[in-house]
Amino acid sequence: MQVAIEQPIPVGISQCLTGAAVRFNASHKHSRLCTEHLGSLFALKPFCPEVAIGMSTPRAPIRLVGEAAAPRVLGTKDPSQDLTVPLQHYAEQVSQANPQLCGFILMQKSPSCGMERVKVYRDNGHPAEGTGSGAFAARLMQRNPLLPVEEEGRLHDPVLCENFVTRVIVYSQWQALLRDGVTAARLLAFHARHKYLAMAHNQELYRQLGPLLANLRQADLQSTAERYFTLLMQCLKTPAKRSGHSNALQHLAGHFKRVLKPEEKQELGQLIDDYRRGTVPLVVPITLLKHHLLNHPDAYLGKQAYLQPHPAELSLRNAI
């Protein structure tokens, strides 16, 4: 039941978040959440796009200019300084040279690293309508559409943090499956382990996963596997709501209906309902389900990633 993480998972990170003084004003934005809390699970690999393309520290500030959908990165004081293409090329270099990365944590509001909601200005200096993404971040996500990417600021939201960590671990496990070689048996086993996890996140996409694997003997295995993983990562990208978790919990509880005493079933049902109403965190009904699984072993349930998708010591489900 405990998720097996044999070694830290490689995850890229904006270098200023590690404490390196690489920002335009020679400061940093050290994130203890990333380096200490998540650092126990992730092997963080730092990148600073601006330094990588030859900019000094300290340096003149830059900003996004133009249309929000496709802004350019220009010098704030010297608009003739256009760094858009160099930052985009560096994102392509990082993608090509680091296929081992299973996630990326970006610095918010940055014209190079901001994932979203970065201020965009018009040529006259006034704010443009809408916001954009940093040039490096936008190209990184374009080149790696399934890679889990998140901003450090958003990771302080317990739901978004749990979601990101879960996606990174699943991405890492899929890469391990690819290294071992995709077979029909391995693909079906992977889906079986992640069934309830997908169910909790996005019902519509979850319902497409099973039928996709229904006729593997007649399907092209490689293309089916690629389609399956695309759907799974799209599914998991939707943060699970209380309704989704409650649905998955009820399905798991259904496996115990013949072995639990009436009062035990009532207690479990009550805790799931308490969670749905927001009076207890997710860890409470999960803990009781694990207790019943210990007393009534079930090989299928024991392999479910949903019951422990990430190391327990991270306590990621204590606040959601």
Mean pLDDT of 3-11: 87
Domain contains 27 = yes
Of 270, 292, 290, give the one whose Cα is nearest residue 279.
270
Residue 2 pLDDT class (50, 70, 90 cuts): low
| Most distant CA pair in the chain, distance | 74
Residue with tokens 């985009």: 88
Q: Is the pLDDT of residue 128 over 70?
A: yes
Domain contains 265 = yes
Q: Is 172 exposed, middle or buried (0-12, 13-18, 19+ CB in 10 A)?
A: buried
Mean pLDDT of 148-159: 98
- What's the CA gap between 12 and 80, in Å, rounded? 31
* Last residue of one domain, picked from the residues 97, 126, 153: 153
Q: Is the pLDDT of residue 241 over 80?
A: yes
Q: What is the pLDDT of residue 3?
A: 72
Structure-token pair, residue 144: 């790696």
Beta bridge partners of 104: 12, 149
93-107 pLDDT per residue, tens: 999 999 999 999 999
- 3-class state of residue 219 by DSSP: coil
Whether 195 contacts 235, CB under 8 Å: no
Torsion of CA 289, 292, 297, 302, to 10 degrees: 10
Q: Is the pLDDT of residue 1 over 80?
A: no
* Last residue of one domain, picked from the residues 153, 182, 199: 153
Domain contains 262 = yes
Domain contains 309 = yes
Domain contains 4 = no
28-84 pLDDT per residue, tens: 999 999 999 999 999 999 999 999 999 999 999 999 999 999 999 999 999 999 999
Strands 9-14 and 42-47: parallel
Are residues 115 and 208 located together in one domain of the fold? no
Are residues 129 and 235 located together in one domain of the fold? no
Ordered strands of the 104-106 beta sheet: 42-47, 9-14, 104-106, 149-151
What mean pLDDT, rounded, does the chain reach? 97
- What's the CA gap between 209 and 199, in Å, rounded? 10
Poorest-confidence range of 161-165, 214-218, 238-242?
214-218
Residue 284 pLDDT class (50, 70, 90 cuts): very high
- What's the CA gap between 292 and 294, in Å, rounded? 5
Q: Is the pLDDT of residue 265 over 70?
A: yes
Domain that holds residue 282: 157-320
- What's the CA gap between 184 and 13, in Å, rounded? 35
Are residues 62 and 209 located together in one domain of the fold? no
Structure-token pair, residue 273: 């309902």
Q: Is the pLDDT of residue 108 over 70?
A: yes
Q: What is the pLDDT of residue 6?
A: 78
Are residues 147 and 185 located together in one domain of the fold? no
Mean pLDDT of 192-197: 98
Are residues 132 and 161 located together in one domain of the fold? no
* Last residue of one domain, picked from the residues 118, 153, 188: 153
Q: What is the pLDDT of residue 5?
A: 82
